[in-house]
C-alpha cells in the first residue's frame, strides 16, 4: 500500500492529477504525510528536481486552492515558508537559484496576501536568511554572495516596503484633508462682503 508521502510525491509530477485530487478531496490541501509534510512542503522540495515551469504549475494549483495553510509545521517544526528559506542554500553551501529566485519569493508574496503573521515569532522564515547572511558573510563564492544580497533586498522589500507604503498613503490622506479644510474655510474679507449687513433704523432725538 502506497504511503501518503509517496502519493504526495507522485502528485508533484502531474499538476493535472493534483488538481483532480484536490477537486475530489479539498481537505487534501491540509493533510500531512508520515513526516508531517503537506503538499506545499512537497512542492518546495520538488524545486530541487523540477524545472521552474513544472514547479510553477504545481504552485499555481496549490496557491489557488481554498484552505491552503502556510503555517502547518512538519515533524521538524518547519513550515513550508521556512523550508523554502532553508532550501535557498543546500547542505553543501551551494546557492539554489530556482528556490531563491522563484519558489521562496512566490510563497512569501502569496502568504503576505493572506496574513502577515508568518513574519512574527520564531517561525519567521527570514530568520533563516539572516543566519545564512551571517554564516556566509566571509564566503569567496561570488554566486552565493550575490544570491544572498538578492535575498536581503527581497527581505527589506517585504518588511519595509509595506510600512513605507502605509506612511505614504497616510501622508497623502493628511494632505487631502488639509486641502479640503482650507477650501471649505471662507476667506474672512470675502465672508464679510457676502454677509448681509443688519439694518439699524435711525431714531430721531427728542428736542
Q: What does pTM read for this prediction?
A: 0.76
Contact 102, 56 (CB under 8 A): yes
**pLDDT score recorded for residue 178:** 45
Specify the DSSP element, H or E, that contains 193.
helix 188-194
Residue 132 counted as domain residue? yes
Instruction: Name the packing angle between helices 104-114 and 52-63 (round to 10°).
Output: 10
200 inside domain: no
pLDDT score for 62: 97
110 in a structural domain: yes
Q: Residue 156 is placed in which grid cell?
A: 527589506
- Average pLDDT by consecutive 10-residue portion of the chain (207 residues)? 90 95 96 97 90 90 94 95 95 91 94 74 88 91 91 90 57 51 50 49 51
Q: Residue 148: which CATH number? A: 1.25.40.20
Predicted confidence at residue 187, as pLDDT, reads 53
For 42, the domain range is 4-177
Predicted confidence at residue 199, as pLDDT, reads 43
Task: Determine the Cα–Cα distance for residues 187 and 199; give it in Å rounded to an integer.
Answer: 24
* Ordered DSSP codes for 159-195: HHHHHHHHHHHHHHHHHHHHHHHHHHS--HHHHHHHS
> What pLDDT score does 1 carry?
75
**Does 205 reside within a domain?**
no
What whole-number distance in Å separates Cα of residue 87 and Cα of residue 81? 10
Residue 188: C-alpha distances to residues 9, 63, 141, 193 (Å): 76, 60, 71, 9
In this predicted structure, what is the pLDDT of residue 197? Answer: 52
Q: Is 95 helix (H, G, I), strand (E, B) or coil?
A: strand
Residue 75 is assigned to a structural domain of this protein: yes
Q: Which helix (H) or strand (E) holds 112?
A: helix 104-114
Residues 122 and 137: beta-carbon distance below 8 Å: no
In a domain? residue 61:
yes
Distance CA 5, CA 15 (A): 16
Report yes or no on 57 lying in a domain: yes
Number of structural domains the chain divides into: 1
Amino acid at each position: 500500500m502506497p504511503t501518503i508521502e509517496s502519493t504526495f510525491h507522485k502528485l508533484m509530477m502531474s499538476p493535472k492529477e493534483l488538481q483532480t485530487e484536490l477537486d475530489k478531496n479539498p481537505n487534501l490541501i491540509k493533510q500531512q504525510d508520515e513526516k508531517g509534510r503537506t503538499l506545499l512542503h512537497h512542492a518546495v522540495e520538488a524545486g530541487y528536481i523540477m524545472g521552474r515551469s513544472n514547479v510553477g504549475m504545481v504552485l499555481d494549483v496549490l496557491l489557488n486552492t481554498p484552505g491552503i495553510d502556510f503555517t502547518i509545521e512538519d515533524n521538524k517544526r518547519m513550515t513550508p515558508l521556512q523550508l523554502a528559506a532553508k532550501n535557498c542554500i543546500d547542505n553543501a553551501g551551494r546557492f539554489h537559484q530556482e528556490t531563491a529566485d522563484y519558489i521562496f519569493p512566490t510563497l512569501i508574496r502569496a502568504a503576505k496576501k493572506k496574513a502577515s503573521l508568518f513574519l512574527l515569532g520564531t517561525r519567521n522564515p527570514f530568520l533563516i536568511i539572516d543566519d545564512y547572511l551571517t554564516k556566509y558573510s566571509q564566503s569567496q563564492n561570488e554566486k552565493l554572495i550575490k544570491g544572498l544580497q538578492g535575498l536581503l533586498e527581497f527581505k527589506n522589500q517585504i518588511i519595509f516596503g509595506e510600512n513605507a507604503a502605509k506612511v505614504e498613503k497616510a501622508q497623502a490622506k493628511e494632505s487631502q484633508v488639509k486641502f479640503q479644510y482650507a477650501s471649505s474655510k471662507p476667506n474672512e474679507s470675502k465672508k464679510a462682503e457676502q454677509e448681509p449687513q443688519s439694518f439699524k433704523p435711525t431714531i430721531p432725538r427728542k428736542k
